[in-house]
Amino acid sequence: MAGLLLYNYITNHLTPMTLPRRYLLRTFGLTAIGTQLLPIAQNNLFPKSAIEPRRLQVGDTVALINPAAFTYEKEVQNFFKVLDQLGLKVKLGKHFYDRYGYLAGQDADRAADVNAAFADDSVQAIFTGMGGWGCARILPLLDYNTIGNNPKIIMGFSDITALLLAIYAKTNIVTFHGPLGVSSWSPFTINYVKKVLFDGGSVTMQNSKTMPIQTIRRGTARGKLIGGNLSVIAAMVGSGYLPEWENSILFVEEVSEEVYRIDRMLTQLKLAGILDKISGFIFGQCTKCEAEKPQESLTLSQVFTDLIRPLNIPAWYGSMTGHIRDKFTLPIGKEVEIDANAGTIKLLESAVN
CATH number at residue 152: 3.40.50.10740
One of 231, 323, 335, 337 is an active-site residue; which one?
323
Q: What is the CATH number of the domain that holds 222?
A: 3.50.30.60
Integer distance in angstroms from the first to the last C-alpha of the chain?
43
Domain closes at, from 154, 185, 216: 185
Does 284 share its domain with 211? yes
Does 168 share its domain with 210? no
pTM for the complete prediction?
0.87
The pLDDT > 70 percentage for the chain reads 87
- State yes or no: is 323 an active-site residue: yes
Is residue 22's pLDDT more than 60? no
Beta strands at 315-317 and 125-128: parallel, antiparallel or unpaired: unpaired
Does 226 share its domain with 181? no
Residue 332 lies in a domain: yes
Does 253 share its domain with 139? no
Residue 17 lies in a domain: no
pLDDT value, residue 45: 56
One of 52, 95, 158, 279 is an active-site residue; which one?
158
Does 79 share its domain with 121? yes
One of 52, 177, 183, 253 is an active-site residue; which one?
253
Residue 16 lies in a domain: no
Degrees to nearest 5, angle at CA 169 with 167 and 173? 55
Does 226 share its domain with 145? no
Q: Domain count of the chain?
A: 2
Does 326 share its domain with 229? yes
Residue 41 lies in a domain: no
Is residue 273's pLDDT more than 70? yes
- State yes or no: is 158 an active-site residue: yes
Taking the C-alpha atoms of residue 153 and residue 62, their distance in angstroms, rounded to an integer, is: 9
Does 217 share its domain with 83? no
The length of the chain in residues reads: 353
Taking the C-alpha atoms of residue 200 and residue 74, their distance in angstroms, rounded to an integer, is: 32
Is residue 99's pLDDT more than 80? yes
**Strand, helix or coil for residue 220:** strand
Domain region containing 108? 61-185
Q: What is the pLDDT of residues 182-209, one digit of tens each?
A: 999 999 999 999 999 999 989 999 999 9
Domain closes at, from 152, 185, 218: 185
